[in-house]
Amino acid sequence: MNGKRVRPSIRDSLLKSAVTLFAQNGYNAVSLRDIAKAAAANVGSITYHFGSKAGLLREIYARHTEPMNARRRELLGEARRISDLDERLMAILRAYVVPAFISSSESDGGGAEFTRLRAIMSAEGNPDARAIIADAFDETSRAFVDAVAECLPGASRESLVWRSQFLLGGLYYTLINPERVTRLSGGKAEGDNREEAIRELVAATFASFRSLSEADAEPAPVVTKQRKRA
């Protein structure tokens, strides 16, 4: 069905090793020999399967992008059916954040590792990556902003986009430098605890978006754990 035999092993372990190494050290810093060594394979096999280093990166994106976006669309669809605007907003935020942190059950799909890879690639600004990334995620982001907009009557498109930018930035940076959270909190918070990160990021972004609504008469529900009644 694929046009190619379903011989997995080497090709797959090359991809897996590449994702891990790229996500950890960036694209430039990792050599094809590093990848081959990690996959217990030969350098030549990379050229054979993927043509070039850029081709390898392209394949990685091809493998992960669609499943991750699909998962986001699915969750977004569910969220949109919630009638209460605040609850819906919260669900929308989770639909955006959760797939970026947690792999969608199957081995491929999004997950923290691939998201970290994306973060590093966007920072490195690598020409190879620029062309590949393209706007693979723009469509999803647009749908996300649209969905958020419906929850926030009166909010301007500009501010919604800005805040979605900060959301993505917070997401990326948390995956890139989680130790900072642990360090700065004196160990009271764990930067690499995914559930904790998701909860905090969603809560912070909720408040950030919520303040844009005209209807700020009703008290915004606070979801963070340390919430106390005064």
Partner DNA sequence: GAGCAATTTGTACATTCGTACAAACTAGAG
Partner DNA sequence: CTCTAGTTTGTACGAATGTACAAATTGCTC
State which of positions 32-51 bind DNA (CB under 7 A): 32-34, 41-49, 51
Site string for a second copy, 18-57 (x = CB under 8 A): ------xxx-xx----------------------------
The nearer residue to DNA, 46 or 112, going by C-beta atoms, is 46
Regarding 81 and contact with DNA (CB under 7 A), the answer is: no
The nearer residue to a second copy, 13 or 20, going by C-beta atoms, is 20
CA distance 195 to 213: 27
* Tokens 């005064």, located at residue: 230
Closest distance to a second copy from the beta carbon of 135 (Å)? 8
* Tokens 């986009």, located at residue: 161
Neighbour tally for 150: CB within 10 Å:
12
Ordered DSSP codes for 114-157: HHHHHHHHHHHT-HHHHHHHTTTTHHHHHHHHHHHHHHSTT--H
Instruction: Out of 66, 87, 138, 150, name the contact with a second copy by CB under 8 A.
Output: 138
Stretch that binds a second copy, among 1-9, 14-22, 31-39, 207-215 (CB under 8 A): 207-215
Alpha-carbon dihedral 34, 37, 41, 45, rounded to 10 degrees: 20
List all residues 6 or more positions away from 86 whose beta carbon is below 8 Å from its beta carbon: 151, 210, 220, 221
For residue 163, the partner it binds in DNA, a second copy, none, with Cβ less than 5 to 8 A by kind, is a second copy
Q: Which of residues 76-135 bind a second copy (CB under 8 A)?
A: 119-120, 122-126, 135
Instruction: Out of 169, 192, 195, 218, name the contact with a second copy by CB under 8 A.
Output: 169
Q: How many residues bind DNA (CB under 7 A)?
A: 24
Regarding 185 and contact with DNA (CB under 7 A), the answer is: no
Regarding 54 and contact with DNA (CB under 7 A), the answer is: yes
CA distance 126 to 44: 23
Closest distance to a second copy from the beta carbon of 114 (Å)? 15
Given a contact cutoff of 8 angstroms between Cβ atoms, the answer to whether 164 and 141 are in contact is: yes
Stretch that binds DNA, among 7-15, 81-89, 138-146, 164-172 (CB under 7 A): 7-15
DSSP 98: H
